[in-house]
Structure 1
Amino acid sequence: MPESLTERTALDPIAALRVAGSGFSVHEPSALHPRFREPAFLEYAGITPPGPATSAELLPARLRRRVRTDSCGTPEALLAELFEVNPGSPAGARALSVALDAFSGSVASAGRYEAEVALRRAFHDGPRALRPFLLDVAERHSLACFEIDDVTDAATDSRHHRHAAVRYLSSRCAEPAAIAALEGFHASAGNGYDRLLAAVALAGTGRPVIESAVWPPRRPVGPGGLTIAQSMLLGPADRPGAGASGGLTVLLRGLGDALGRQPGIGRVLTLVLCPAPRLEPGSPLVTGDDAHLTVRIPVDHGLPPAQTDLAQHRTSITFWTRHLLAATGLVPGLVHVRYADDGSVAIADAARALGARVVFTLTADPHRSLASRYGPGTDPDPAAAGMDLHRMYAADRLVAAADTLLTLPGRAPGELERYFPLLARGGRDATAIEEGITLRTTGDDSARQERLVRSLFTQDRDLPRFSAAARGLPLILSVGRLHPVKQQDLLLRAWLDRKLYRHYALAIVGGDLTNPTAEERLVLRRILMPAGAAPEAAGRLAVLPALPNSSVRLLEHGLRRFLPAATAHLYVCPSEKEEFGIAVLEAMEAGLVVMGPRRGGLGHYIRHGGNGFLADTGDPDRFADDLTAAVHILTTTPHAARAIGEAGRHTVLTRFDISQVAARFAGAYHRTVAAGALATHQPGPLRCDSDAKV
């Protein structure tokens, strides 16, 4: 009788699934909801759910299974399986992203000739909607299997076909017919995105179609100077807290500046996405000073794509990154990616094509939260389940491909090995490096500080703001992107339910409230509806949209000066978990007492009751208890409150200065490049179970 997951291991069901492989029983009790369990069992154990295949998530799961077991099949059979895919759906986009990897396995086993034949046949006999994928696969492998006339004809179907055609023709830019077609696309381009795409594709031909205003010439990096690229593809790069942009945006801005001052680092590139509508005529794609440049990677999307949308743009991001960096002479020697998603996989693909080493910061996200998110009694969205399974696959791809693995400090012992069996079997480890912040320099910014504090009281037609009754009260401040995992609504409910508004006002800052995403609208409703039903707290709640990071920090530093109170102001991060907490560090540096989640990495530097507070943010009642207890300490022992705030500030000043952090990252980068000069890294297999064919 096969052992069950719980009998074989004390791990949670997700970790057990990833190490158990095909050795567990199909009759395992329902530790996971069927909407998650069925594609998960198919991916990790090859167990197909009974009945007709009704879930769109089963095809991506089956393809991931093929990559994991190194059984991708022939190119023809693989492509035939994609004929029913809807490329415009999230599940279809994920399936094609995995199929891109599977096709690489097919080419390796069957050979280039068979791959070309299969692509040509699918191009003519398969659905036209699949043609952009076929063109991108051919471009990826430099397969000259399509007639130029057929490619230009396909380009008339839609902009997706047109863009894929341009990408494919770039791989044949030595042929006069391909050059003529690309020049035609460039001349007839009706928007900035199309014009730039054709220009980048033509760059390899030496044609002078790239205007210097788009990417001004830069000085060459000095001898021995290493060019580093770091990617931040989620949310607007200029507004942390809006959309999906958050603490990583702040970190990379400061880290990039500090790395550029490190010995042996010639230049730092921060790669961000630029939605097509923001490609203004003459607006450069490369900005900044010579030491730290921001490179805007164009993306055919109206807004910065959400993480769930990145699969649709994987081939495009890879193409733009590879060709734009080559065209501008900004080829990096090392690329550092940090998220487990298709955007990071795309950047890593480009890095490999450019000959750069790859560094990946590894965390057990989303792995550690899935058992509770998809357990019995939940009602999960199948698309969300599919996305989380796909992110685990992306993380495995990056672990296998990375030359160096880094992680954040504060993880539980053995956590990474528990969720990433690849590490244990490959004898690899991830080096922990603390992150940090840029310490504020003092200056005459009192007028801006006062203006920002006053904005909390400036009445708004749509959003609550403080009334005069809030003056003299200490403040609970929470800053971050509006997203369900950030749980600002949890903080609001605790503040209302425990009547903490009698002692503390509450200010919530974050979100693009002019053009909100679906997540931002949801969280905003969860804040405004209960607040509107509590007239007794009126005038003591302020909700502001996301502010530039410099403004947030001025506000935090200005609170004690321009909003004096009898006890300390409190900064609260109510997130489900925080891997590190850049915003928490910034609040500590401003002298605010901080509270953050126990789950994640904050416990690495916060001593509960010493230099801040930790709270259980996984349960509303326990969080309300923890918040109430902290408020009680602060209001009854003001001297203790001041001491906690000063201890928190001291922690940041002595441990988390970005210059110190940059030196540690630079050391890891130099070691990676030095090791790469001795041995070329070959990406390892993706196997997660213990008994599969490799």
Structure 2
Amino acid sequence: MPGDEFSRLRGEIYLSYVPGDPEGLRALVRGLSRPRAEADPVLEGMVLLRAASLRPGAAAPDEALERLPHLGRNPLLDRCVADALRGREGAEEGLRRRADQPDGERAAFACAGSAGLTPFDAGRTAAALSPDRDPETLVDVLGYAAASGFRELSPRIRGLLTRPLPWGVLEEARAALADLEESPPGPSGSAPPPASGGAASLTQTLFHGDPTRPGRGSSGGVGTLVREFGAALTDLGLGVLSLVGYDSRECAYPYVARESAGSGGPIRRVPVYLSSPAPAGFSGASGRIARSVLRALRSEPARPGILHVRFLDDASRASALAARILGIPLAVTLTPDPHRSVCGPDGRIRGRSGEELRDLVNRIWIGDDLLAWARGVLAIGRNTLSETLIRYYPQLEDTRGRVFAGVDEGVRISVPAPDLDVPALLGDPRRDLGLDPAAVGRPALLSVGRLGAVKGQANLVRAWASRGLWMRYNLVLVGGDLENPSSEERLVRDEIRESVPRECLGRICHLPALPNEAVRALLRWFSARRPREGFDVYVCPSLKEEFGLSILEAMAEGLPVCAPLAGGPSTYIRNGVNGFLVDTRDAESLGRELRAALERCGQDPARVERIKREARRTVEERYSLDAMAREYADFYRRAIGTEVEK
């Protein structure tokens, strides 16, 4: 069987075990574990609970009942318990006992709400709605009260609105009141919203950042794509609604429930109280995410034709569960990661343990669930399905009742650019990292992207400083909310500044996130100018890129690019022809390969011009946003019109 060691393991498990066989699930865990690693009771619990959730039956499985006294101690296990109990009878007494224990009330109510169970009456629920409870308990109990249809608790919930509680709790109270006052008595039903008429409509979810805040927080190229892609689909007659997650605990920016994305259709923000920043906080808030997405979908005037999720994480899985409850078809984007990153360069599995192993196993199972539930399966890259995904998802061999497509992502070819005084922007003396105005004319390495460890900006700074590149090239970074950074942004921002030697000051500039039109204007300015010595280069230092929209935008503007070997860029960059592929695994490798690429072209301006022309031509011929939108629209319409074989 071709492929790496992990793809062979997946194939062997697929052929040897039926779905849900605990021995098959254990075989996956063993295959991914570090040699001689101690047995992990959390992983064994995940195995048993997943097997139980996939086993048919009306009664609560023993594996889940045995875990009830331990609810609240591990978010992954809690979610697995809720999965195993969903729609089954017999767990009510165990949940009531857990709720009466000092550390169990929140977890018991959260589990009951996630599983669609009603073990607590209005009186017990009212007792848990005391304002002296911690915020997370109040959020989960409010969600349970609304889902259970306890209208008699409306006065008590209104009372919470008069208390000095966190905004996220107050928002959940307002949402619970709206649920109770707009729904008939009793538990909230699963009846879908009214069927839409006219053109088929798309709802897409985005819990990684906000498309109105590109380059800030966890919003990177996907946020920009969602906005621009929505506009292109709307032009093709497909209505688009974007559900955007909003962390109601952190409240990192002002909350606007609904706003227009221009011609890209409305953006509706979905408040979710996360225990920790995204994406780590998704697993502990999966029930809250599903509840918030359900509310959003139920309240829309027309039922979506399809819901599209793009990530293998608990937020996407929770959104997919909401769609299943409402009978809305699901489209899922499958990517080779995390599967492709399981093995090292030698093709052998790199063993893991602890939280890293648990997270990996969870994401692999999420991918399997989303594929099992999907009406439409989409891959990024024209040949990804047949050449890569089939190795890691052997179940793709069964094509019954599904629509498949492999689509190359795209960017706008021509973008109206605002007037931008780039030298003044780069040399602004108010910046802590800005260029010396006298040095603006030097050639530059330019990099645009959200601030994140996986994006590799600190590695780029170290590579630039330690390899002597700073003596010839300026370094210009764009991205991040530098004034009000998230916790991850703050860590990367500080690491960047700690990596800049004193002698390099005045040769590096860090600009905050800019609107996409301004980014394109900046790229265009660098592409058009001709420094006296050398040439300007766009560098993507990410440890990996699934596809690399920012790289395509730089190519569209005619900049030579250096992009990661790992991930999607190798499918469209021909090394030395329309760009360069470099090893970005660490600062040393990146610096060595950047220097080599720059030296190869430094003495040959004609070659640089050929690379720039080829870069632009590659995007124009194969990676335009309009072409991408046409293929997506065809995919959505086929998926909406397909009856899934039961």
TM bin, normalised by shorter chain, reads: 0.7 to 0.9
Residue 15 of structure 1 corresponds to which residue in structure 2? Answer: 7
The match for 1:200 among 150, 170, 175 is 175
Question: 1:662 offset after TM fit, Å?
Answer: 1.3
Residue range with higher mean Cα deviation, 321-330 or 143-152:
321-330
Residue 643 of structure 1 corresponds to which residue in structure 2? Answer: 610
Question: 1:268 offset after TM fit, Å?
Answer: 3.0
Residue 22 of structure 2 corresponds to which residue in structure 1? Answer: none
Residue 316 of structure 2 corresponds to which residue in structure 1? Answer: 344
Indicate if the aligned counterparts of 1:200 and 1:324 stay in contact, CA closer than 8 A.
no
Residues 1:415 and 2:384 are matched in the alignment? no
Question: 1:161 offset after TM fit, Å?
Answer: 2.3
Question: 1:341 offset after TM fit, Å?
Answer: 0.3
Distance in 2 between residues matched to 1:339 and 1:51, nearest whole Å: 29
Q: Which amino acid is the alignment partner of residue 232 of structure 1?
A: L
Q: Which amino acid is the alignment partner of residue 464 of structure 1?
A: L
Residues 1:255 and 2:229 are matched in the alignment? yes
Residue 69 of structure 2 corresponds to which residue in structure 1? Answer: 83
Measured at CA, do residues 93 and 330 of structure 1 come closer, stay the same or move farther in structure 2, by a change above 3 Å?
A: farther
Q: Which amino acid is the alignment partner of residue 280 of structure 2?
A: T
Q: Deviations over 1:571-590 (max 9, x none)?
A: 01122221111101111122
Long gaps (5+) in structure 2 = 17-24, 184-193
Distance in 2 between residues matched to 1:455 and 1:563, nearest whole Å: 19
Residue 81 of structure 2 corresponds to which residue in structure 1? Answer: 99
Distance in 2 between residues matched to 1:281 and 1:484, nearest whole Å: 25
Residue 486 of structure 1 corresponds to which residue in structure 2? Answer: 455
Q: Report sequence identity in percent.
A: 29
Indicate if the aligned counterparts of 2:458 and 2:495 stay in contact, CA closer than 8 A.
yes
Q: Secondary structure at the match of 1:459?
A: coil
Question: 1:494 offset after TM fit, Å?
Answer: 3.2
Residues 1:329 and 2:298 are matched in the alignment? no
CA RMSD of aligned residues (A): 3.8
Measured at CA, do residues 331 and 198 of structure 1 come closer, stay the same or move farther in structure 2, by a change above 3 Å?
A: farther
Distance in 2 between residues matched to 1:516 and 1:282, nearest whole Å: 17
Residues 1:658 and 2:625 are matched in the alignment? yes
Residue 310 of structure 1 corresponds to which residue in structure 2? Answer: 282
Q: Deviations over 1:478-514 (max 9, x none)?
A: 1112323222233333333432233322112223334
Measured at CA, do residues 314 and 494 of structure 1 come closer, stay the same or move farther in structure 2, by a change above 3 Å?
A: same
Distance in 2 between residues matched to 1:12 and 1:615, nearest whole Å: 22
Distance in 2 between residues matched to 1:187 and 1:354, nearest whole Å: 34
Distance in 2 between residues matched to 1:294 and 1:618, nearest whole Å: 36
Measured at CA, do residues 544 and 221 of structure 1 come closer, stay the same or move farther in structure 2, by a change above 3 Å?
A: farther
Distance in 1 between residues matched to 2:199 and 2:219, nearest whole Å: 30
The match for 2:139 among 156, 163, 172 is 163
Question: 1:638 offset after TM fit, Å?
Answer: 1.3
Indicate if the aligned counterparts of 1:228 and 1:333 stay in contact, CA closer than 8 A.
yes
Question: 1:293 offset after TM fit, Å?
Answer: 0.5
Residue 35 of structure 1 corresponds to which residue in structure 2? Answer: none
Question: 1:252 offset after TM fit, Å?
Answer: 0.4
Measured at CA, do residues 66 and 513 of structure 1 come closer, stay the same or move farther in structure 2, by a change above 3 Å?
A: farther
Distance in 2 between residues matched to 1:374 and 1:72, nearest whole Å: 47
Residue 152 of structure 1 corresponds to which residue in structure 2? Answer: 126
Q: Which amino acid is the alignment partner of residue 632 of structure 1?
A: E
Measured at CA, do residues 329 and 516 of structure 1 come closer, stay the same or move farther in structure 2, by a change above 3 Å?
A: same
Indicate if the aligned counterparts of 1:44 and 1:65 stay in contact, CA closer than 8 A.
no
Question: 1:97 offset after TM fit, Å?
Answer: 1.8
* Structure ranking higher on relative contact order (CA contacts 8 Å, 6+ apart): 1
Distance in 2 between residues matched to 1:524 and 1:136, nearest whole Å: 36
Question: 1:187 offset after TM fit, Å?
Answer: 6.4
Residue 21 of structure 2 corresponds to which residue in structure 1? Answer: none
Residue 32 of structure 1 corresponds to which residue in structure 2? Answer: none
Residue 27 of structure 1 corresponds to which residue in structure 2? Answer: none
The match for 1:601 among 568, 576, 589 is 568
Q: How does 1:362-441 map to 2 (within 5 A)?
A: 362-372=334-344, 382-409=354-381, 411=384, 414-424=387-397, 430-441=404-415
Question: 1:239 offset after TM fit, Å?
Answer: 2.7
Residues 1:454 and 2:424 are matched in the alignment? yes
Distance in 1 between residues matched to 2:292 and 2:492, nearest whole Å: 34
Indicate if the aligned counterparts of 1:42 and 1:65 stay in contact, CA closer than 8 A.
no
Residue 638 of structure 2 corresponds to which residue in structure 1? Answer: 671
Q: Which amino acid is the alignment partner of residue 425 of structure 2?
A: S
Distance in 2 between residues matched to 1:457 and 1:380, nearest whole Å: 46
Indicate if the aligned counterparts of 2:65 and 2:91 stay in contact, CA closer than 8 A.
no
Residue 585 of structure 1 corresponds to which residue in structure 2? Answer: 552
Q: Secondary structure at the match of 1:260?
A: helix
Measured at CA, do residues 357 and 617 of structure 1 come closer, stay the same or move farther in structure 2, by a change above 3 Å?
A: same
Measured at CA, do residues 234 and 374 of structure 1 come closer, stay the same or move farther in structure 2, by a change above 3 Å?
A: farther
Question: 1:301 offset after TM fit, Å?
Answer: 4.3
Distance in 2 between residues matched to 1:376 and 1:625, nearest whole Å: 26
Residue 539 of structure 1 corresponds to which residue in structure 2? Answer: 506
Question: 1:418 offset after TM fit, Å?
Answer: 2.0
Indicate if the aligned counterparts of 1:593 and 1:611 stay in contact, CA closer than 8 A.
yes
Q: Which amino acid is the alignment partner of residue 586 of structure 1?
A: E
Question: 1:42 offset after TM fit, Å?
Answer: 7.6
Q: Which amino acid is the alignment partner of residue 168 of structure 1?
A: Y
Question: 1:629 offset after TM fit, Å?
Answer: 3.0
Residue 63 of structure 1 corresponds to which residue in structure 2? Answer: 49
Indicate if the aligned counterparts of 1:192 and 1:280 stay in contact, CA closer than 8 A.
no
Q: Secondary structure at the match of 1:442?
A: coil
Q: Which amino acid is the alignment partner of residue 81 of structure 2?
A: A
Distance in 2 between residues matched to 1:442 and 1:46, nearest whole Å: 49
Indicate if the aligned counterparts of 1:567 and 1:641 stay in contact, CA closer than 8 A.
no
* TM-score of the pair, normalised by structure 2: 0.85
Question: 1:544 offset after TM fit, Å?
Answer: 2.8
Residue 291 of structure 2 corresponds to which residue in structure 1? Answer: 319
Distance in 1 between residues matched to 2:399 and 2:240, nearest whole Å: 33
Residues 1:299 and 2:253 are matched in the alignment? no
Question: 1:633 offset after TM fit, Å?
Answer: 3.6
Q: Deviations over 1:246-299 (max 9, x none)?
A: 111111010111111213x23433433253564999944454468600010012
Distance in 2 between residues matched to 1:121 and 1:221, nearest whole Å: 42
Question: 1:181 offset after TM fit, Å?
Answer: 4.8
Distance in 2 between residues matched to 1:178 and 1:373, nearest whole Å: 59
Distance in 1 between residues matched to 2:324 and 2:5, nearest whole Å: 34
The match for 2:445 among 453, 459, 476 is 476
Count of residues in Structure 1 that have an aligned counterpart in Structure 2: 624
Question: 1:366 offset after TM fit, Å?
Answer: 1.4
Distance in 2 between residues matched to 1:119 and 1:373, nearest whole Å: 47
Residues 1:132 and 2:93 are matched in the alignment? no
Distance in 2 between residues matched to 1:371 and 1:48, nearest whole Å: 12
Measured at CA, do residues 544 and 229 of structure 1 come closer, stay the same or move farther in structure 2, by a change above 3 Å?
A: same
Distance in 1 between residues matched to 2:623 and 2:488, nearest whole Å: 31
* TM-score of the pair, normalised by structure 1: 0.79
Q: Secondary structure at the match of 2:215?
A: coil
Residue range with higher mean Cα deviation, 330-339 or 65-74:
65-74
Residue range with higher mean Cα deviation, 305-314 or 408-417:
408-417
The match for 2:580 among 613, 616, 620 is 613
The match for 2:332 among 360, 377, 396 is 360
Residues 1:238 and 2:220 are matched in the alignment? no
Residue 690 of structure 1 corresponds to which residue in structure 2? Answer: none
Q: Which amino acid is the alignment partner of residue 540 of structure 2?
A: C
Distance in 1 between residues matched to 2:548 and 2:255, nearest whole Å: 37
Measured at CA, do residues 103 and 559 of structure 1 come closer, stay the same or move farther in structure 2, by a change above 3 Å?
A: same
Residue 554 of structure 1 corresponds to which residue in structure 2? Answer: 521
Residue range with higher mean Cα deviation, 132-141 or 254-263:
132-141
Q: Deviations over 1:171-190 (max 9, x none)?
A: 332x6535555555556684
Distance in 2 between residues matched to 1:307 and 1:59, nearest whole Å: 22
